Amino acid sequence: MAKTAAAPACPCSPERRYADCCGRYHAGQIAPTPEALMRSRYSAYVLGLDDYLLASWHASSRPAALDLQDEPPRKWLDLTINRQYTNPDDTGVVEYCARFKIGGRAYRLHETSRFVREQGRWYYRDGDIHD
């Protein structure tokens, strides 16, 4: 009997299958909430999906280019969502902490991110980084 390979875990949550979690958003499905978009963006950083990150960034704050290959290599460890909410005015907030290593040294990115929904699609607008 042939052995079946396990489905890859999603970078945003090892308990979830990538195809059922962030993979569907990377393939073109619209993220339904700011949290889903935040998770998919984290996974895009882990997987080096520059194009997805730019496409999910609001035009008012999107950089002209993004090249994750130019950054020091990071080993992303995990993502924790601290709080999230969606407002009736098509804005949302997600506070998260992402842990990673560069050259064996541990770091964390703690940010409160702001999102906006336009024409049914959520976009990352900007965020405040916490110390």
Domain boundaries defined on the chain? 9-130
Give the pLDDT confidence score for residue 82 in this predicted structure.
97
C-alpha–C-alpha distance, residues 13 and 64, integer Å: 30
Give the pLDDT confidence score for residue 122 in this predicted structure.
98
Does the pTM of the predicted model rise above 0.85? yes
Give the pLDDT confidence score for residue 7 in this predicted structure.
77
Mean pLDDT, consecutive 10-residue stretches, the chain (131 aa), reads 69 96 98 98 95 97 85 90 96 98 95 97 97 82
Give the pLDDT confidence score for residue 129 in this predicted structure.
96
DSSP string spanning 65-112?
---GGGSPP-EEEEEEEEEEEE-TTSEEEEEEEEEEEETTEEEEEEEE
Q: Judge: domain 9-130, CATH 3.30.420.40.
A: no
Under DSSP, is residue 55 helix (H, G, I), strand (E, B) or coil?
A: helix
